[in-house]
Structure 1
Amino acid sequence: MSNAKTPTTHQAIIAIDQGTTSSRAILFNQHGEQLHSYQQEFTQHFPQSGWVEHDPQDILNTSLIATKTVMEYAQANSIEVLAVGITNQRETTLVWHKETGEPVYNAIVWQDRRTSAFCAENQEYAECITAKTGLLLDPYFSASKIAWILNNVEGARAQADYGELIFGTVDTFLIWHLTAGKVHATDTTNASRTNLFNIHTLDWDSELLEWYDIPAKMLPEVKESADDYGMTSTTALPLNVPIAGVAGDQQAALFGQCCFTPGGFKATYGTGCFALLNTGTEPQKSNHQMLTTVGYTLHGETYYALEGSIFTAGANIQWLRDGIKVIKSASATKALAESLEYDHGVVLVPGFAGLGAPHWEADARAAIYGMSRGTTEAHFARAALEAVCYQTYDLLTAMSADSVSAEAVWVDGGMVGNDWLCQFLADMLQVAVLRPKTMESTALGVMYLAGLQVGWYKDTQSLQQYKVVDKKFTPQLDDTTRSMLLTRWQKAVAATLAFI
Structure 2
Amino acid sequence: MENQYVMVIDQGTTSTRVVLYDHEGMIVEISQLACPTIRRHTGWVEHDANQIWQDTKWLMQDVLTRAEIQANAIKAIGITNQRETTVIWDKETGQPVSFAIGWQSTQSEKITQKIKQRNITELLHTKTGLWLDSYFSATKVLWAFDEIEDLRLKAANGQVLFGTMDTWLLWQLTKGQVHGTDVSNASRTMMFNIHTLQWDDDVLEQLKIPRQILPDVYNSADDFGCTELNGVKIPITAIAGDQQAALFGHQAFEVGAVKSTYGTGAFMMMNTGKTAQESKHGLLTTIAYGIHGEVTYALEGSIFSAGSAIQWLKDEMQLIDNAQASSDMAYRSRAAAHQQIYLVPAFTGLGAPHWQESARGAAFGITRMTNDADVVRATVESLAFQTRDILEAMQKDTGIALSQLVIDGGVSANDYLHEFLADLLQMKVSRPINLEMTSLGIAFLAGLQSGYWPAQNELPINQAMIHIKQHADSEHMMQKNYLGWQKAVKTVSVFP
With normalisation by structure 1, the TM-score equals 0.91
One of 421, 427, 438 as aligned partner of 1:425: 421
Q: Does 1:18 align with 2:11?
A: yes
Give 2:54's aligned residue: 61
Give 1:214's aligned residue: 209
Q: Show the 5 A alignment for 1:186-335.
A: 186-234=181-229, 238-335=231-328
Shift in Å at residue 128 of structure 1? 0.6
Distance of 2:365 and 2:97 partners within structure 1:
51
SS state of the match for residue 278, structure 1? strand
One of 471, 475, 492 as aligned partner of 2:488: 492
Deviations 1:463-486 (Å, cap 9, x if unpaired)? 2x4241331112224332332222
Deviations 1:79-108 (Å, cap 9, x if unpaired)? 711000001111122222334423333322
Give 1:349's aligned residue: 343
SS state of the match for residue 175, structure 1? helix
1:42–1:422 distance in 2 versus 1, CA, 3 Å:
closer
* Conservation of the 8 A alpha-carbon contact between 1:71 and 1:81: no
Shift in Å at residue 372 of structure 1? 3.5
Distance of 1:52 and 1:320 partners within structure 2:
18
Name which of structure 1's ranges 282-291 and 89-98 shifts more when overlaid on structure 2. Answer: 89-98
Give 1:126's aligned residue: 121
Shift in Å at residue 342 of structure 1? 10
1:373–1:173 distance in 2 versus 1, CA, 3 Å:
closer
Letter in 1 for 2:38: H
Name which of structure 1's ranges 133-142 and 474-483 shifts more when overlaid on structure 2. Answer: 474-483
SS state of the match for residue 76, structure 1? coil
Letter in 2 for 1:107: A
1:342–1:489 distance in 2 versus 1, CA, 3 Å:
farther
Name which of structure 1's ranges 11-20 and 414-423 shifts more when overlaid on structure 2. Answer: 414-423
Distance of 2:357 and 2:194 partners within structure 1:
26
Deviations 1:15-65 (Å, cap 9, x if unpaired)? 001122332100111222111111122443333443333222112111111
Give 1:158's aligned residue: 153
Distance of 1:103 and 1:338 partners within structure 2:
46
Q: Show the 5 A alignment for 1:53-92.
A: 53-73=46-66, 76=69, 80-92=73-85
Ranges in structure 1 where 5+ consecutive residues have no aligned partner: 1-7
SS state of the match for residue 451, structure 1? helix
Letter in 1 for 2:261: T
1:9–1:431 distance in 2 versus 1, CA, 3 Å:
farther
Give 1:169's aligned residue: 164
RMSD: 2.3
Letter in 1 for 2:455: D
Distance of 1:142 and 1:470 partners within structure 2:
35
* Conservation of the 8 A alpha-carbon contact between 2:72 and 2:232: no
Shift in Å at residue 226 of structure 1? 0.4
Identity value in percent: 43
Name which of structure 1's ranges 257-266 and 348-357 shifts more when overlaid on structure 2. Answer: 348-357
SS state of the match for residue 421, structure 1? helix
Distance of 1:173 and 1:274 partners within structure 2:
23
Distance of 2:301 and 2:250 partners within structure 1:
17
Give 2:107's aligned residue: 114
Deviations 1:407-441 (Å, cap 9, x if unpaired)? 53221122222223212211222232111122111
1:427–1:146 distance in 2 versus 1, CA, 3 Å:
same
Distance of 2:42 and 2:262 partners within structure 1:
26
* Conservation of the 8 A alpha-carbon contact between 1:347 and 1:492: no
One of 24, 29, 43 as aligned partner of 1:31: 24
Letter in 2 for 1:435: R
Ranges in structure 2 where 5+ consecutive residues have no aligned partner: none
Name which of structure 1's ranges 323-332 and 386-395 shifts more when overlaid on structure 2. Answer: 323-332
SS state of the match for residue 246, structure 1? strand
1:461–1:430 distance in 2 versus 1, CA, 3 Å:
farther
* Conservation of the 8 A alpha-carbon contact between 1:263 and 1:407: no
Distance of 2:37 and 2:209 partners within structure 1:
27
1:475–1:10 distance in 2 versus 1, CA, 3 Å:
same
Deviations 1:277-301 (Å, cap 9, x if unpaired)? 1122111111111111111111222
Give 2:461's aligned residue: 466
* Conservation of the 8 A alpha-carbon contact between 2:128 and 2:194: yes
1:80–1:337 distance in 2 versus 1, CA, 3 Å:
same
With normalisation by structure 2, the TM-score equals 0.92
Aligned residues: 490
* Conservation of the 8 A alpha-carbon contact between 2:345 and 2:382: no
